[in-house]
Amino acid sequence: MREFEAFTISWLPHDFAENPNLCVFDGVGAVVDPSLNKCPAVPGKSFDLPTTLKIAVGDKVAVGMWGPYEITKAGFDLGVKRLLLLETGTIKYRADDRGYRKRKEAINCFHAMAGLDELFPNGGFLDTGFKMWGLNGTKQVLREYTTAANHKGLLLEPVEIEKDVIGFVYAPDRTDKGVYDPFATPAAAYHK
């Protein structure tokens, strides 16, 4: 039997479990110009896995799971270092973190996991992070962990992003048809 430690980084507004109304864009033109976005940066919190799953089930959203993947000690140390930094309370959460990363004020859930060696990473093409949330964001983080030179080798197992995912979707009844299923292979259904 192997010994292991597991930690969860699930970076969201600190009160997200009680108030899941996330402000992403507020203001005319906010999607195009981040300076027009009136959504505030708020205190962030990294939720544990049971709380994160409870939030997802409560909102009846699709949930994807990859792994577990065995990682190197260096990869583990980077993840723990990031979690400890997030838990200090010095970094805020903002869904649209354009501009906020450059000022080192706030990051979103994607940037909490992307670039573990650089807390306030560049946002990519046009600094948008376009569609880098949820399943797409997780896939992008896995791509980075498996292809970026500075992360190559941190995962000790091969990763097949599209094949490895196990999907779960909300269906009020096991026999429901037309359930939203964003996964390439059929997902398992869950209901309350």
Whether the Cβ atoms of residue 115 and residue 144 lie closer than 8 Å to each other: yes
What CA–CA distance (Å, rounded) separates 111 from 120? 7
Could you tell me what percentage of the chain is helix, strand and coil, using 3-state DSSP and rounding each to the nearest 5?
30, 15, 60
What CA–CA distance (Å, rounded) separates 110 from 11? 8
Q: Which residues pair with 106 in a beta bridge?
A: 92
Which tokens is 97 given?
Answer: 């973190």
Whether the Cβ atoms of residue 150 and residue 127 lie closer than 8 Å to each other: no
pLDDT of residue 153 exceeding 80, the answer is no
Domain boundaries, the chain: 11-190
pLDDT tens by residue, 15-46: 999 988 889 999 999 888 888 999 999 999 99
Nearest to 50 by CA among 98, 112, 104, 6: 6
Note the pLDDT of residue 138: 87
**Beta-sheet pairing, 63-65 with 166-170:** antiparallel
- What's the gap between Cα 171 and its chain centre? 23
pLDDT tens by residue, 56-104: 888 888 999 998 888 888 888 988 999 999 999 999 999 998 888 888 8
* Sign of the CA dihedral running 83, 87, 88, 91: positive
Helix (H, G, I), strand (E, B) or coil at 92: strand
Write phi, then psi, for 32 (nearest 5 degrees).
Answer: -85, -45
What CA–CA distance (Å, rounded) separates 133 from 104? 20
